[in-house]
Homo-oligomer: A and B are copies of this chain.
Amino acid sequence: MKRPTIADIARQAGVSKGAVSYALNGQPGVSASTRARILAIAEEIGWRPNSAARALNGARADTVGLALCRPARFLGVEPFFMELISGIEGELSARSYALMIQVVADHEEEMSVYRRWWGEGRVDGGILVDLHFSDPRVSEMETLGMPVVVLGHPSESGSLVPVWSDDGAAVRETVQYLTALGHRRIARVAGLPKLVHTVLRDQAFSAVCADLGLPESVTVHTDYTGEEGARATRRLLSSASRPTAVVYDNDIMAVAGLSVAQEMRLDVPGDLSIVAWDDSPLSQVVRPPLTALTRDIPAYGAHAAQRLLSLIEGGLVAGFEDQAARLTPRGSTAPPPA
């Protein structure tokens, strides 16, 4: 019942362990006939390389680590992470790399997980998500010397390889579209204010609103949950200068906002236009279907994984700017009421 080793193969083939190793790894040093014999025996007795023994000789672990620092309930809620993981996974599995995942409570725990994985030789690299300003993880990773790709803007990624998309452009496209429809009072229900991409969106939003001469640009920050999205929407729609359009930082809040509007007897899109950041089946399934900022999230993850693998394999890797989100108009946006 024990696992067969190369020593077993060597004994059966009547050669040395070294010869077996060469044969199995496609290295020169054995004749074609011996190689074939060894491969046949290996196949027959069901030999598999022991990854631990390989790793001991300085080989790679063929594994990429991902420590996710969000409370568990957000993961279930947001399609974003699962799609991201699917994309990363697709790229990794094509190259026979595995993905090691751990959900952690905070950045400190996240770093200790990475330190452990790296120190124990369990992973060859990692992906950092949810970049903050002056994110301590960046310098710690630089110290650690572990190959890392950061999903976030290059201005904050230090010497780590960034993969990002131009959220500012998407914000501008959205606001321009809404003003073209005639909207003047546009509000934004944003995500966590500590995240770099939230701030970049905030800034782009203020800037484009100012450029277009819009009276004010209200931004409310939330934690991405439907509850906070609903609360923010209720507050916005109850204010004296009610916005005629609201842009949400994720789809779950947009859907929650839609419900609140309907609950307040406002017609969407007649009285209120709604735009969701990140498309998902969810935004298409509600009535009216939501105008959304569409991104190919699996591709985003795949691009990050590609860079990471190049980095691991010793390449010099440049940052990569992914496609910006594109506006997909659906039934939730229309000209404002007269």
Contact = CB atoms under 8 A, between A and B. Distances in A.
Interface of A: 1, 3, 46, 48-56, 61, 63, 72-73, 75-77, 79-83, 85-87, 89-90, 92-93, 98-104, 115-117, 119-122, 145, 225-226, 230, 252, 255-256, 259, 262-263, 280-282, 284-287, 297-298
A90 B77 contact: no
A286 B255 contact: yes
Nearest to A119: B48
Number of copies: 2
Which of A52, A63, A92, A286 has its CB near the most chain B CB atoms (within 10 A)?
A: A52
A21 to B, nearest CB: 16
Contact of A51 (B3, B120, B286): B120
Nearest 10 A/B pairs, CB to CB: A48-B119, A52-B55, A72-B86, A76-B83, A51-B120, A76-B79, A52-B52, A89-B103, A76-B82, A226-B281
A262 B297 CA distance: 30
A281 B298 contact: no
Contacts of A89: 72, 101-103
Nearest to A122: B51
Given A75-B86, A102-B99, A280-B76, A252 B285 contact: yes
B262 A77 contact: no
Nearest to A3: B119
A120 B259 contact: no
A82 B75 contact: yes
A53 B116 CA distance: 15
A281 B77 contact: yes
A101 B102 contact: no
B76 A86 contact: yes
A287 B260 CA distance: 9
A42 B75 CA distance: 37
A116 B49 CA distance: 9
15 contacts: A1-B145, A3-B121, A46-B119, A50-B55, A52-B52, A52-B121, A76-B86, A82-B82, A89-B102, A101-B101, A225-B281, A255-B282, A259-B287, A262-B287, A263-B287
A58 to B, nearest CB: 10
Which of A56, A252, A282 has its CB near the most chain B CB atoms (within 10 A)?
A: A282
Contacts of A61: 52
Contact of A286 (B85, B92, B99, B286): B286
Contacts of A226: 281, 284-285
Contacts of A53: 52, 56
B79 A120 contact: no
Contact of A256 (B55, B101, B285): B285
A104 B100 contact: no
A256 B284 CA distance: 9
Contacts of A81: 82
A100 B102 contact: no
